[in-house]
């Protein structure tokens, strides 16, 4: 995991920087021009770009498939697995 701003072995803040750091998170790209959003396929991104690619590099490459504009907006969300009812 890539960290910045924290001391190893402490409970300080951790900044997730690379695609590999975001396992267990979803990545969504949003186009501000046409309001389209899509969840990014992380295994495909890792296969193409490698797990150590930084999210800011992915953000710069985003282009909307609907309107063709560069979106520049990438949101990260954490989705906890559903717990079955007892």
Residues 6 or more apart in contact with residue 27 via CB below 8 angstroms:
39, 40, 42, 55, 58, 74, 75, 76
Q: Domain segments of the chain: what residues?
A: 20-77
State pLDDT tens for residues 46-64: 899 998 988 888 888 888 8
The answer to whether residue 4 scores a pLDDT higher than 50 is no
What span, in angstroms and rounded, lies between the C-alpha atoms of 85 and 73?
36
In whole angstroms, give the CA distance from residue 18 to residue 63.
19
Report field, pTM of the whole predicted structure over 0.85:
no
Residue 48 pLDDT:
92
**Higher model confidence: residue 26 or residue 2?**
26
Question: Model confidence over 11-57: pLDDT tens digits?
Answer: 666 677 888 887 777 888 888 888 888 888 888 988 999 989 888 88
């Amino acid at each position: 995991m890539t960290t910045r701003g924290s001391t190893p072995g402490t409970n300080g803040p951790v900044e997730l920087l690379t695609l590999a750091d975001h396992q267990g998170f979803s990545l969504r790209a949003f186009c501000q021009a046409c309001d389209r959003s899509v969840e990014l396929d992380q295994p495909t991104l890792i296969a193409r770009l490698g797990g150590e690619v930084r999210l800011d590099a992915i953000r710069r490459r985003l282009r909307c498939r609907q309107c063709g504009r560069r979106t520049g907006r990438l949101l990260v969300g954490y989705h906890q697995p559903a717990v079955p009812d007892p």
